[in-house]
Every structure is written in structure tokens, then in C-alpha cells.
Copies of this chain bind each other. A is one copy, B any other.
């Protein structure tokens, strides 16, 4: 029985670096790659960071029910392939999904047993600094992002876990422990350990 892990974070919480570090560990997670209609940023690779598609194709996929979740963020469409997630989990692999708060709630409705983690910055100031240092957005965009951040953080209580990204190594350990612990939950162990348990029946 595979698990589905959802990681959400407001912009500037350092989620991207954390996910990169997490995928380098041996936690055995398959990262779900989202489809999006937004333009690639410098260094973003199609099929690795996102599947970059146009609105027409996105809408066709949406109509065919191929998105587990989809959302419009800052005027761009994002969606997660439902067939890919189903197939990957059916093959016994745990899936990691990096999505926004809206998407997380949609996924939870379909997979109520999904494990959701919200990443928080250590302070509002550090988040503001990160947004400004990124240097890719103008002040208006930053102000709009900050408003969105407040809205996202107001949804934190809908998640199962909160991890503070103060030091990347500690936040990474937190996430790895959550994943390891979730795999030890009884509903998983009753399946994984059935041969052992049968010895005591």
C-alpha cells in the first residue's frame, strides 16, 4: 500500500531547495511533475521541472478528467496528472507531490489518506528577504505574492504536519522523519508485515 505525500509552502519558504535535497536522499519517492501553462523560468527544463503546455492542451486534459487537481495561480494554470499518480502508486511506489494549498485540498478529497506537510519560513522577514533576493519579480509582483502568502498560511491548519525551514538540514530531517514514521503506521505495517504477523496467529 503506497503513500502519497503532499508538500505545500508559500512562495519564499524555500520549498524548491528542500524538495531537491529530499530527492537526493534515499527515501524512495517518485516526484509528481505538474503540467503548467506558465512560461518556463531561466534554467527550468520541460519534463523535469514542469510539463510546459499551452492552454488548449491543458483544457483538453481537464475535460478528459486527467487532472487530480488543477488551479489557476497568478493567471497560469497548473495541474497534476491523475493517471500518472494512480499508476505509480499501483506499482508500489510512494508519490511526492509539490503543490499549492488549493491543490492540496483537492487531492485530499480524492486521497483522504494523503499525508500533507506545510513548510513555513522561520519568519515573515526571512520570507520577504527571499522573495526580494530572488530578483526575478518586480515590486508589484512581490506585493501580490506576499498577499497570496498570507492567504496560504491561513490554510496551514488543514495540513497534517508543519515544518519550519529555518536550517535546511534540520527541515530535511523533519520531512524524512515524517515519511519514515508514516511508513510505520499500523495500516501500512499490517500489510507489509503480514507474513511476520501470521507466525503469531
Taking beta carbons and an 8 Å cutoff, which residues of A are in contact with B?
Answer: 118, 120, 122-124, 149-150, 153-154, 156-157, 159-164, 173-174, 176-178, 180-182, 184-186, 189-190, 193, 196-197, 199-201
Contacts and interface: CB of A to CB of B under 8 A. Distances in A.
B161 A185 contact: yes
A140 B196 CA distance: 25
A8 to B, nearest CB: 12
B156 A197 contact: yes
Copies in the complex: 2
A164 B120 contact: no
9 closest A-B pairs by CB = A181-B181, A162-B189, A153-B200, A177-B177, A124-B199, A177-B180, A178-B181, A161-B184, A177-B181
B153 A197 contact: yes
Given A177-B177, A181-B181, A186 B161 contact: yes
A153 B177 CA distance: 26
A122 B186 contact: no
A158 to B, nearest CB: 8
Contact of A154 (B118, B157, B159, B201): B201
